[in-house]
Chains A and B, each alone.
Chain A
Amino acid sequence: MRKKISRRDFVRIGTQSVVGGIVLYTIPALFADFTTATANSSSYDWEKHYWGFVCDNEKCIGCGRCVVACKLENKVPWEPEYNRTWVERYVITEEGETFVDSPNAGRDGFKTEQPHPNVLKSFFVPKLCNQCDNPPCVTVCPVGATYMTEDGVILIDQEHCIGCGYCLQACPYGARFFLPDKRVVDKCNWCYHRISKGILPACVEACPVKARVFGDLWDPESPVAKTLAAKRVYVLKPDLGTEPKVYYIGFEKGVH
């Protein structure tokens, strides 16, 4: 005695189960998303950190791996005119002349042949956003699209940036650039998506000689705090009062 199911019932029950199935299937997913999102934001307290960076000019070998790692990690356009980080080479001759270059922003490393015969000394300087404590870029942004986080990093809200370019003019270090597709400004944020999860910035991780040191300035045990305690450091263009948080080891006159 099997109960007969009419065609109408079949369609009705079928539709109900499909819709019900979709709903039942998505509810846990919604919750899962929600719980992971809250877990992430609650596990990171930006008031408990203050990030700092050290570049050791005496260690950098100019291999350019940091530049490549950064471009891959942050989807920075591969062309050499868009860079969140780059490497400069300084060549000082016996006559006291200084030559600086950064072919392809250091992305492909540096060729060894020297165009200058009487080289006194030569060294590399890694560059990135200084995450200034007194950031002129944040001051000038007319819509507040670029701002400083509690943990001392300058971020850009690219959904809000109007692309006026005032921050590019205001940055003394050339750290900012226009993204060609989005027509908004981009720059290094010390891999904020990584450091807020307790992972090192991509460039720091990629550096084979530990020329880039990253960590929490408030934690005396962090590599940055230890380096700053042990070494004499300087910052770029200190006279402008921007208070950079990228500290350099290996001072040389004329490195801006």
Chain B
Amino acid sequence: MAGFVFPNEGVVEWDLLIVIYPYITGLVAGAFIVSSLYHVFGLTSLRPVARFSLLTALSFLIVTPMPLVIHLGRPERGLEMFLTPNLNSAMSAFGYIWFFYLLIVLGEVWLVFRPDIVRYAMATEGTRKTIYSILALGVDDISEESLAIDKKLIKILAFIGVPAAILLHGYVGFIFGAVKANPWWSTPLMPIIFLMSATVSGIALLLVLYVITTKIRHASLDHDCLRSLSLWLAGFLAINVVLEGLEVFSMLYESEESWEIISQLITQKIGLSYFGIQFISGALLPLLVLGGVEIIKPEAQQKTYATFLAATLVLIGVFAMRWNVVIGGQLMSKSLRGFISYTPPLFGLNGLLTASVLLTLPFLILTLITYLLPPWQPDIKQETVPRRRLR
């Protein structure tokens, strides 16, 4: 503790778990937007990851409420947010938005994978057959007409899903941005910044996962897809870094009473994670790398390594951004005269261990889902090649 803080302010109440909550939500929104770039906006170069990104969004979405519920002082009362909500509260909407979005993603996953599910249900035996039969929900019609209807529905769901994803994450930004008591949070830019960084983190995650899973499957990378991902990553990243810079620049320029403590916060208290990780290694360096790859055009393998590295740095950078917002905002006393310190504990419900479990969980779920519903291209090719021959 340094300077003066109000006596009740000794503890950072929104801790590591609340840092990973917007991080996970952001990955959901970003991953979904990638799948929509293909499903809605017809970006065919993203086809190899379109189905996979949908599963990624679902896996992370399932985990989203967990850090929130664990963090509650009285988790057993968590459902009250559904049952007796105060609709004036930005937070009370979380449950509804999350649930609505879950339905959309589940619906889209089911429609996209339905032909596979039905085929697996027919081709497998035993437990697997049971599982796929259940997943088929009793609909085994995969005729051309039926699939055409599916395709329309997928488009509609993806179309609703884009604003829903934006709502889900813009809303997370609003939870912080609407707290006028906290000058580091209180800016209308917050939802937009959260949204952009969400998109950035989602694309980066998919890029990283695409490279890793391709390696694991001993498949060959689709370099068009990789290039497309890295270009979209660079584009959103550029917008994101400008917005994040503008936010602080306008604070500096307006120089309100709170600027003095904010400048101390970003230069001293979170200097490394703010300038070092969020801006330099998490945004500027990846931009340089991604741009450099486009200009120099190195050979395929080096290109893959470079973009992989850039995307990994972006993922770390966005995590740092979440940390800098959530923790950073609470390090400053509302007396504007001092700082609280925070180091996450290793053990305990709110510790590093819980956080790492929560961050690993989506990957385990994703592994399970991709095992059940392989989203990869060979499946798509088998499906599309004969059709072309028919024509």
Chain A residues with CB under 8 Å of chain B are 80-83, 86, 88, 99-102, 105, 127, 136, 138-144, 160-166, 168-178, 183-185, 240-241, 256
Chain B's closest residue to A253 (CB) is B257
Chain B's closest residue to A167 (CB) is B89
Chain B residues with CB under 8 Å of chain A are 4-11, 13-14, 68, 71-74, 77-78, 80-81, 84-86, 88-92, 94, 175, 179-182, 330, 333-337
Question: Cβ of A172 and Cβ of B181 under 8 Å apart?
Answer: yes
Contact of A136 among B10, B181, B330, B333 (CB under 8 A): B181
Contact of A139 among B10, B89, B175 (CB under 8 A): B89
User: Given the complex, which residues of A lie within 8 Å of B77, measured CB to CB?
Assistant: 143, 160-163
Question: Cβ of A240 and Cβ of B89 under 8 Å apart?
Answer: no
Task: Name A's interface SS.
Answer: loop
Count chain A CB atoms within 10 A of each CB in B8, B91, B337 and give the residue with the most: B8
Question: Cβ of B73 and Cβ of A165 under 8 Å apart?
Answer: yes
User: Given the complex, which residues of A lie within 8 Å of B180, measured CB to CB?
Assistant: 136, 172, 240-241
Query: Closest approach, in angstroms, between the C-beta of A46 and any C-beta of chain B?
Result: 21
Question: Cβ of B86 and Cβ of A143 under 8 Å apart?
Answer: yes
Contact of A82 among B8, B182, B330 (CB under 8 A): B8
Whether A101 contacts B13 in the complex (CB less than 8 A), given A143-B92, A165-B73, comes out as: no
Question: Cβ of A177 and Cβ of B334 under 8 Å apart?
Answer: no
Contact of B73 among A100, A136, A161 (CB under 8 A): A161
Question: Cβ of B6 and Cβ of A164 under 8 Å apart?
Answer: no
Question: Cβ of B7 and Cβ of A105 under 8 Å apart?
Answer: yes
User: Given the complex, which residues of B lie within 8 Å of A101, measured CB to CB?
Assistant: 4
Chain A's closest residue to B256 (CB) is A239
Chain B's closest residue to A140 (CB) is B89
Question: Cβ of A256 and Cβ of B74 under 8 Å apart?
Answer: no
A-B contact list, 6 entries, CB within 8 Å: A81-B7, A144-B84, A171-B334, A174-B5, A176-B8, A178-B73
Chain B's closest residue to A184 (CB) is B73
Query: Closest approach, in angstroms, between the C-beta of A142 and any C-beta of chain B?
Result: 4
Whether A162 contacts B73 in the complex (CB less than 8 A), given A141-B89, A143-B84, A144-B84, comes out as: yes
User: Given the complex, which residues of A lie within 8 Å of B74, measured CB to CB?
Assistant: 161-163, 183-184
Question: Cβ of B91 and Cβ of A164 under 8 Å apart?
Answer: yes
User: Given the complex, which residues of A lie within 8 Å of B80, measured CB to CB?
Assistant: 143, 160, 162
- A183–B70 alpha-carbon span in the complex (Å): 13
User: Given the complex, which residues of B lie within 8 Å of A178, measured CB to CB?
Assistant: 11, 13, 73
- A183–B8 alpha-carbon span in the complex (Å): 15
- A219–B84 alpha-carbon span in the complex (Å): 36
Question: Cβ of A140 and Cβ of B91 under 8 Å apart?
Answer: yes
Question: Cβ of A100 and Cβ of B91 under 8 Å apart?
Answer: no
Question: Cβ of B7 and Cβ of A86 under 8 Å apart?
Answer: yes
Question: Cβ of A174 and Cβ of B73 under 8 Å apart?
Answer: no
Chain B's closest residue to A104 (CB) is B7
Contact of B89 among A81, A142, A165 (CB under 8 A): A142
User: Given the complex, which residues of A lie within 8 Å of B94, measured CB to CB?
Assistant: 142
Question: Cβ of B91 and Cβ of A174 under 8 Å apart?
Answer: no
Chain A's closest residue to B7 (CB) is A105
- A184–B77 alpha-carbon span in the complex (Å): 11
Query: Closest approach, in angstroms, between the C-beta of B172 and any C-beta of chain A?
Result: 13
Whether A240 contacts B336 in the complex (CB less than 8 A), given A142-B92, A143-B86, comes out as: no
User: Given the complex, which residues of A lie within 8 Å of B91, measured CB to CB?
Assistant: 140, 142, 164, 166
User: Given the complex, which residues of B lie within 8 Å of A164, measured CB to CB?
Assistant: 68, 71-73, 91
User: Given the complex, which residues of A lie within 8 Å of B337, measured CB to CB?
Assistant: 100, 256
Query: Closest approach, in angstroms, between the C-beta of A119 and any C-beta of chain B?
Result: 17
Contact of B4 among A100, A127, A160, A170 (CB under 8 A): A100
Question: Cβ of B88 and Cβ of A83 under 8 Å apart?
Answer: no
- A64–B304 alpha-carbon span in the complex (Å): 66
